[in-house]
Structure 1
């Protein structure tokens, strides 16, 4: 039988162990620390349905609608700024930095915001993100020049956007497990449908109210939507405020060779991913389609993205998250390589639907794929690190594409620009194909090269 002295010794040893553990955490010296989110535990019960859970999905849907959806219709602004010479003689290369810098918010802020969404909670994150994103559009409406627009309409909007995105992914993941793919697909479908609707709405605002009021109206709507959605973003899984190094967390992820290849794959493929969203309206105008229908082509592409997010989320629950992720990664660049042969409005609609469907499934299946392949703990933390891989492609993809267009631009006898888009399209399609084919190895290592649900 243990004596009182034995119990006292044990208690003192426990205290000493705790202090030693705390000291080890401090002595790691791996840079600034962040709050590591609490991992999923068996005690956490997922509602997996019910009106309350689906109401949360609806709220997330509308936050994506007015943030990621606006990002996906940035090509409408690029076409308007270029052909109306809003910023003087600014070239495609320069104007496209609005889109590329906008895309950079996910890789730059993703790792930090992923931890923020888990440690501070989805409600705090969506409010902060909505205010930053909306205010950025409003401030951009007073832009004195192109670089001011790049900073606010591009970068600061994207920082707020990624906060809203991570908050939505986190809150939906709290409420769903068995049908998480479908639930996230429906929520993320808001970005595609938002791109469909907002491409047309943005063009109408540009035509009737001008670019400055278009930005102001959309900025106000972004803030209002985030504040309303926050009322439903109620956490049912409390965070764990245990401090660890961000670099230590990332290092643990990269110990898995599959994660390394996945990171490299995204780094290469994202040089081409956003090119259609940036240049489809300009391409449509070049082949003789008017501005309103050119914006509709981009809208239809985003509509296809919404359908892909929902449908492939459903099929991922049935056939495996990694399986559907790799399938989308292969189909997307193949679809893009058919772009140069589409020179009519119906042809561009068909291309937009095909590309949008597979590209939408690519993005929506990423969170569930990470949970399936690497475990359900810290989904947004892993997602943030994967997003960091896309920085070079997100920043450089559209400007490189714009530089290719500038180099392939001539002028006819009337002074009208004649642009050869084929080299740019091949650049985007080939970079995506090279990057995405690497995922076949990840799939093989995860399945032992056998067809099965994974």
Structure 2
């Protein structure tokens, strides 16, 4: 069976299967291989880093809002009900890839980044009652995020092949750094200038960084006619792609639980309000390192690395999260869990890209995230319900750890099956 490098080289040089025959004068010339660097390529990576710092960084900081809402504006609502705001946000963010990935392949990054940035900034400045939190922070934030996130994580694969995991990991590390700094900044802003102006300030910062990102990001491949919607699900006929998409989705079903509930868990263990807020920053600091570390996937194999990261993530949930009974133990868990979970987050786009033709990368990455969206929609409310079933105490967090750990390990099994479909040699670089 072909190695991953052989698959990628053939994919990168293959003409569009839907193009005209050689006798037709409109046949496009073969695309040159990715340049693997250069001014435009690295500016694109930098722009993606800035956009990810804002978009996914704030999405990763939802645990701050979860903990704040439970004791302030939405104290009358259960943790499960409040978590639906973040769940809807994540669902639209990921499910939107079914449409934005296709549009990215056809029209390039700016066509999505500019309107998405406007919607994203507006969403930060429009919250009051629960239904307004849901409309602004759930629906509008999710829609703007979808239009920013998908081109940002897909475009590095147009510029890099051999160093694809490295380039993507740098971009996605921006989200980890944002997830580290945003909780600290939001806590300080809320304490000093109040909740409303804290979000407005965040909106102005987001506007500046998203504008910088849109100015730097460049689409390398030529514009082309958008794929018909009838062909969007065609990649699922490929067994290795279907296994990869479902494996990533199952892993994500449980993987995001600590991002939502580590602050409330810290409070339940007796942490001060300040320390509880900082646990999410600590988790995201570990995630930043893990997202950068994911660049080793270029050497060890992207699928090999994502399988190992998923397995370790599940083990940490089952072996570490369930028995922990102190704030220091939770902090250590946050660093370790963030590191391994961050590697998974970085490796999703390059893992999908190595199974895709260049002009289909956006659509296939978007399809993968669209499938994942249904799992991220239900994951936080399920875990919130498990917390309630445990009376809001330690037992509820143990229930959530069991559920999340089991589904993540099941996802790792499907990812391993996808990897073995490509190459059955266990020590091969895949």
- The two structures share one fold, judged by TM-score above 0.5: yes
Distance 2:185 2:218 in 1: 31
CA RMSD of aligned residues (A): 2.1
2:138 is aligned with 1:183: no
Is the alpha carbon distance of 1:366 and 1:146 closer, same or farther for their aligned partners in structure 2, counting shifts above 3 Å? Answer: same
Would the aligned equivalents of 1:367 and 1:380 in 2 still touch at CA under 8 Å? no
**Paired residue secondary structure (1:231):** helix
1:53-452 equivalences under 5 Å are 53-84=41-72, 86-140=73-127, 143=128, 145-241=129-225, 243-251=226-234, 253-313=235-295, 315-337=296-318, 338-409=320-391, 420-452=396-428
Distance 1:119 1:377 in 2: 8
Q: CA deviation at 1:404?
A: 1.4
**Structure-2-length-normalised TM-score:** 0.88
Would the aligned equivalents of 1:106 and 1:384 in 2 still touch at CA under 8 Å? no
**Count, aligned residues:** 404
**Paired residue secondary structure (1:441):** helix
Q: Partner of 1:25 in structure 2?
A: none
Gaps spanning 5+ residues in structure 1: where?
1-17, 19-39, 411-416
Distance 1:97 1:249 in 2: 28
Q: CA deviation at 1:374?
A: 4.2
Would the aligned equivalents of 2:221 and 2:359 in 1 still touch at CA under 8 Å? no
Is the alpha carbon distance of 1:228 and 1:450 closer, same or farther for their aligned partners in structure 2, counting shifts above 3 Å? Answer: closer
Segment drifting more, 123-132 vs 265-274:
265-274
**Paired residue secondary structure (2:32):** coil
Q: CA deviation at 1:375?
A: 4.4
Would the aligned equivalents of 1:117 and 1:163 in 2 still touch at CA under 8 Å? no
Q: CA deviation at 1:182?
A: 0.6
Q: CA deviation at 1:69?
A: 0.5
Q: CA deviation at 1:290?
A: 1.1
Is the alpha carbon distance of 1:326 and 1:210 closer, same or farther for their aligned partners in structure 2, counting shifts above 3 Å? Answer: same
**Structure-1-length-normalised TM-score:** 0.84
Is the alpha carbon distance of 1:159 and 1:41 closer, same or farther for their aligned partners in structure 2, counting shifts above 3 Å? Answer: farther
Q: CA deviation at 1:288?
A: 0.9
Would the aligned equivalents of 2:248 and 2:415 in 1 still touch at CA under 8 Å? no
Distance 1:266 1:170 in 2: 16
